[in-house]
Amino acid sequence: MPRLRARDRALLAVERLKAVYRAASELDHKNAFQMLIATILSAQTTDRSVNSVTPALFARYPDAAALAHADPGEIEAIIRPTGFFHVKAKTIIACSKALVERFGGQVPARMEDLVTLPGVGRKTANVVLGVAFGVPGFAVDTHVTRLTRRLGLTKSTDPVKIESEVTKLIPPEEWTGFGLRLILHGRRICVARVPRCPECVLNDFCPSSTVRAKARRRPLTPTRRGVRMAHGRATTAKRPRRPRTGD
């Protein structure tokens, strides 16, 4: 496949990944509040670890008002498997207090409001906006940073700049799904150390691919009388020599 422009690679990646992955977060949640807290807890750990603790957490603290007044020690005991549990406990309690004090206990559906909450940056805000509210948002985590650079969609390592550059390449309605699918693809195929390029559905146009899909043979052109095909290339039969005439 000839080298494509960044926009063409982005749009092609959108379609290829759409055929493989659902546009869904792997964090278990039932509402925007649970999505917000689960996303904060997912920092520096796996979604599986988060999903192992959130049922007990939300059973005991079902909303922002309940979590805002929780005992930090009890929270730490529940979320310990996610790691960094001292900091995470303080963060989700502070975030819940801010929700109660400034937003009536409800998760706001605007970027400018979400990023004012403790523990919420643009990545978390974009996940919550896209998954919980259906508002287009392109979440940039370590997987998205790695894959967008490997695909040649950006040269930056700054999440805000990556978000800005990639969202200019694809329609807004694809932002959320593309981000979520890149995360899944980064976890399963395009891993950090040794990417599994032979299994990747993007390997025929990804600039960083270590393999290339076998190029299709050029179709043979229709043969004509006096034309034969040799090694896929047309050669014309020599014209017969004219008989020599006398002087």
Q: How many residues does the chain have?
A: 247
Nearest to 1 by CA among 203, 197, 219, 233: 203
Which of the residues are catalytic? 123, 141
Q: Residue 201, Cβ neighbours under 10 Å: how many?
A: 16
Whole-angstrom distance, CA of residue 49 vs CA of residue 28: 11
DSSP assignment of 136-158: ------HHHHHHHHHTTS-----
Nearest to 143 by CA among 120, 167, 123: 123
